[in-house]
């Protein structure tokens, strides 16, 4: 979508009932996909209120109707389970606020699809794991999330992004982008392209395990970055899992792995000084224990054994995706400077290389949790 969200945000603001006058809407957060705004209201009798208004990415999501059907189904399910366990539904699970017309989302005059959520207050959204305790808390939350969705009817979920974590398909798309080289950028990426080609066989490890029935399909989040969980400001525990756009049948090892990719290091995803980009094995160990604790024994030995592969493949795949997007002209991931997607790709491949260096240690860490 080439239309800036600012062009139609007034239409979106008029489409929802905020329960009080709106005093402003500002761009918010550090997501790469949707256009996210924080809307402030001023009720007469209380202090100001906040909401999260998002225009869903048209580049990423072709069917916002199906996407919102998934999200409403999943948030209702989570809400029910949280209430049954005596939890606070309004803080522990997202809740969709429908527009005045009663639909699941609002479509503006340019075709943009907008949705609204309450702002989950008294939480912090971290961009990096500042302590092992914090990272572990996010792991418990993602493990628990997966467990709570363990009995969700998976067949009712739409595939919001087809072949999302199909690493073989991501590799195929990279090769196509290299062959087309429509912007003449492939030459400067030769080292990165070769890095991927040297790991072509790796791209099939998790998919083969799934095809052969060694690991199961589960309902998973599929985008388990640290900044997709809101941490309780008081207790530091993982309070609410957000960014539910990609909740679909998937692999538990990918949910584990994507968190490691983003969180088990001390650098930004677009760091340009690669000497600063290193896997932190202590953080890996802390997250492993916590994720398995949150999942409460639901993972099989075969899944546990493949957890290091989940980490390596999510990191390799994400690097492949950043590289592909750089080659085709930054169509998918939002960028704030030229070359940012190539920088992001380079950090991912540095982490993959570092995982390879520490491979035996990673296998030993997960090995402690095997039941058999």
Residues 13-32 touching ligand ADP, rule: CB under 6 A, are 28-32
Q: Of residues 20, 60, 205, 302, which one binds ligand GN1 by CB under 6 A?
A: 60
- Shortest Å, Cβ 1 to ligand ADP: 14
If one asks whether residue 318 binds ligand GN1 (CB under 6 A), the answer comes out as yes
Stretch that binds ligand ADP, among 97-105, 139-147, 190-198, 223-231 (CB under 6 A): 223-231
If one asks whether residue 225 binds ligand GN1 (CB under 6 A), the answer comes out as yes
318 binds, among ligand GN1, ligand ADP, Mg ion, none (CB under 5 to 8 A by kind): ligand GN1
If one asks whether residue 228 binds Mg ion (CB under 5 A), the answer comes out as yes
Residues 203-222 touching ligand GN1, rule: CB under 6 A, are none
Closest CB to ligand GN1 among 31 and 112? 31
Q: Of residues 227, 259, 324, 340, which one binds ligand ADP by CB under 6 A?
A: 227
269 binds, among ligand GN1, Mg ion, ligand ADP, none (CB under 5 to 8 A by kind): ligand GN1
* Dist. CA 89–CA 70, nearest whole Å: 18
If one asks whether residue 125 binds ligand ADP (CB under 6 A), the answer comes out as yes
Stretch that binds ligand ADP, among 180-188, 241-249, 251-259, 307-315 (CB under 6 A): 241-249
Q: Of residues 13, 157, 203, 242, which one binds ligand ADP by CB under 6 A?
A: 242
Q: Of residues 25, 31, 71, 164, which one binds Mg ion by CB under 5 A?
A: 31
Stretch that binds ligand ADP, among 119-127, 159-167, 170-178, 190-198 (CB under 6 A): 119-127
Residues 243-302 touching ligand ADP, rule: CB under 6 A, are 243, 245
- Shortest Å, Cβ 133 to ligand GN1: 23
Residue numbers at the binding site for Mg ion (CB under 5 A): 31, 228, 243
């Amino acid at each position: 979508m080439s239309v800036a969200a600012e062009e139609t945000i007034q239409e979106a603001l008029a489409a929802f009932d905020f329960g009080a006058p709106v005093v402003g809407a500002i761009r918010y957060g550090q997501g790469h996909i949707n256009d996210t705004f924080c809307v402030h209201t001023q009720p007469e009798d209380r202090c100001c209120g906040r909401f999260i208004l998002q225009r869903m990415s048209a580049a990423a999501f072709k069917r916002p109707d199906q996407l919102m059907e998934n999200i409403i189904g999943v948030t209702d399910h989570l809400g029910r389970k949280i209430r049954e366990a005596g939890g606070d539904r309004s803080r522990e699970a997202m809740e969709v606020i429908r527009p005045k017309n009663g639909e699941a989302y609002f479509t503006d005059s340019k075709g943009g699809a907008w949705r609204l959520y309450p702002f989950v207050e008294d939480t912090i959204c971290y961009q990096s794991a500042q302590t092992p305790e914090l990272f572990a808390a996010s792991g418990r939350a993602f493990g628990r999330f997966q467990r709570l969705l363990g009995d969700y009817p998976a067949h009712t979920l739409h595939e919001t992004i087809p072949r999302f974590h199909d690493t073989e398909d991501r590799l195929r798309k990279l090769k196509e982008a290299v062959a087309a080289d429509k912007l003449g950028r492939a030459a400067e990426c030769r080292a990165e392209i070769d890095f991927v080609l040297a790991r072509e066989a790796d791209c099939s490890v998790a998919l083969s395990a799934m095809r052969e029935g060694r690991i199961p399909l589960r309902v998973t989040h599929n985008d388990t970055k640290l900044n997709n969980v809101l941490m309780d400001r008081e207790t530091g525990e993982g309070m609410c899992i957000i960014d539910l756009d990609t909740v679909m049948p998937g692999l538990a090892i990918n949910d584990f792995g994507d968190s490691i990719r983003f969180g088990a290091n001390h650098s930004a995803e677009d760091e340009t000084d690669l000497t600063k980009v290193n896997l932190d094995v202590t953080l890996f160990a802390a997250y492993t224990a916590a994720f398995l604790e949150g999942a409460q024994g639901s993972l099989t030995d075969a899944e546990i054994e493949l957890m290091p592969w989940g980490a390596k493949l999510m990191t390799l795949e994400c690097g492949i995706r950043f590289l592909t997007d750089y080659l085709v002209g930054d169509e998918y991931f939002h960028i704030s400077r030229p070359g940012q997607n190539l920088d992001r790709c380079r950090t991912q491949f540095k982490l993959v290389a570092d995982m390879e260096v520490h491979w035996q240690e990673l296998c030993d860490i997960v090995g402690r949790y095997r039941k058999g």
